[in-house]
Amino acid sequence: MTPDYSAILNTIYAEIQPLLSEGEVASYIPQLSTISPQHFGMAVYCLDGRTFAVGDAHQKFSLQSITKLFALALAFSREGDSIWTRVGREPSGNPFNSLVQLEYERGKPRNPFINAGALVISDILSTRFVQSDIAVLQFARMIADEPNIDFDTTVAQSEHETAHRNYAIAHLMKDFGNFHNPVRTVIESYCRQCSITMTCAELAKAGSFLAQHGSIPWNGTQILDASSAKRMNALMLTCGTYDAAGDFAYRVGLPAKSGVGGGILALVPGDLAVAVWSPGLDTTGNSLAGTYALERFTTLTARSIF
Active-site annotation, residues:
65, 68, 190, 242, 260
Q: Which residue is nearest to ligand GLN (CB)?
A: 65
Strand spans (E) along the chain: 41-46, 51-55, 61-62, 197-198, 256-258, 263-268, 272-277
Minimum CB distance to ligand GLN, residue 68 (Å): 8
Q: How far apart (Å, rounded) are the C-alpha atoms in residues 220 and 13?
A: 33
Residue (65 or 233) nearer to ligand GLN, CB: 65
Q: Is the Cβ of residue 172 or residue 300 nearer to ligand GLN in the bound state?
A: 172
Smallest distance from the beta carbon of 88 to ligand GLN, in angstroms?
Answer: 18
Question: Least distance to ligand GLN from the beta carbon of 266, Å?
Answer: 16
Q: How far is CA 224 from CA 75, 114, 191, 196, 216, in A?
A: 11, 22, 25, 22, 10
Sign of CA dihedral 31, 37, 38, 39: positive
3-state class (DSSP) for residue 199? coil
Cβ proximity to ligand GLN: between 143 and 244 the closer is 244
Pair 252, 211: CB distance under 8 Å: no
The residue ranges that bind ligand GLN (CB under 6 A) are: 64-65, 96-97, 115, 159, 166, 194, 259-260, 285
Residues 261, 280: Cα–Cα separation, whole Å? 9
Q: Burial, 68: exposed, middle or buried (Cβ in 10 Å; 0-12, 13-18, 19+)? A: buried
Residue 260 CB, nearest approach to ligand GLN (Å):
4
Q: Provide, rounded to whole angstroms, the least separation between the CB of residue 271 and ligand GLN.
A: 26
**Closer residue to ligand GLN (CB): 152 or 202:** 152
Residues 53, 64: Cα–Cα separation, whole Å: 22
